[in-house]
Amino acid sequence: LRIVLLGPPGAGKGTQAALLKEKFGIPHISTGEIFREEIEKGSALGIRIREFVSKGILVPDEIVVEVVKNRLSASDCINGWILDGFPRTLNQAKLLDKILQNMEQKIDIAIYIDVPEEEAIRRLLSRGRGDDKICTLKRRFKEYLNKTAPVIEYYKEKGLLVMINGVGSIEEVHLRILNALKEKRIIN
């Protein structure tokens, strides 16, 4: 089961990914989470990326793609994965296809969790992560609109995209995702 989760900051991708991980026993791969850990550790990678992350700017594609490539080649990814927060640019999406082609793997579904911007901002401000300050948030939304919107179109054209209404309780949204997987005959 190979899932790509898409949606604006605050859509609930991380929350839903955690539930899917639990249900299907496959790893939840969040590039944002990996980056925060590396920054915390003060690793060479962390030092390279911390400015981008703290400002809400996208980390350069070549860095992100290298990280994802390594992560996907780990043994726990053999039966599937949930990608959360990647790909975020059209270039990343195309590079992901190449990586998967080499691994003889395919994305089963790209799930777009749709939440209006006001609702997303409300959720993010209540979460209060380091990069959730209002000015950084605006930057992250701008990055999202400019760079991530084409990714949605890309998966739509490939017939992989499913839109999910992200407004409602965590459990409601989770059930909508499971229904989408059933409708596409990805699960029974």
Q: H or E stretch including 29? A: strand 28-30
- 2 binds ligand AMP, rule: CB under 6 A: no
For residue 67, the tally of other CB atoms under 10 A from its CB is: 19
- 12 binds ligand AMP, rule: CB under 6 A: no
Report, in Å, the least distance between residue 188 CB and ligand AMP: 31
CA distance linking residue 82 with residue 39, whole number of Å: 22
CA distance linking residue 152 with residue 61, whole number of Å: 17
CA angle 126, 170, 185 (to 5 degrees): 140
Report, in Å, the least distance between residue 138 CB and ligand AMP: 12
> Which residue shows structure tokens 């699960």?
187
Q: H or E stretch including 92? A: helix 90-102
SS3 state of residue 3: strand
The interface with ligand AMP within residues 116-135 (CB under 6 A) comprises 131
Q: Between 136 and 155, how does the x/- string for binding to ligand AMP read (CB under 6 A)?
A: ----x---------------
Tell which one of 4, 16, 39, 88 touches ligand AMP (CB under 6 A). 88
- 59 binds ligand AMP, rule: CB under 6 A: yes
Report, in Å, the least distance between residue 6 CB and ligand AMP: 11
Using CB under 6 A as the criterion, which residues of the chain lie in contact with ligand AMP when the complex forms?
Answer: 9, 30-32, 35, 52-53, 56-59, 64, 85-86, 88, 92, 131, 140
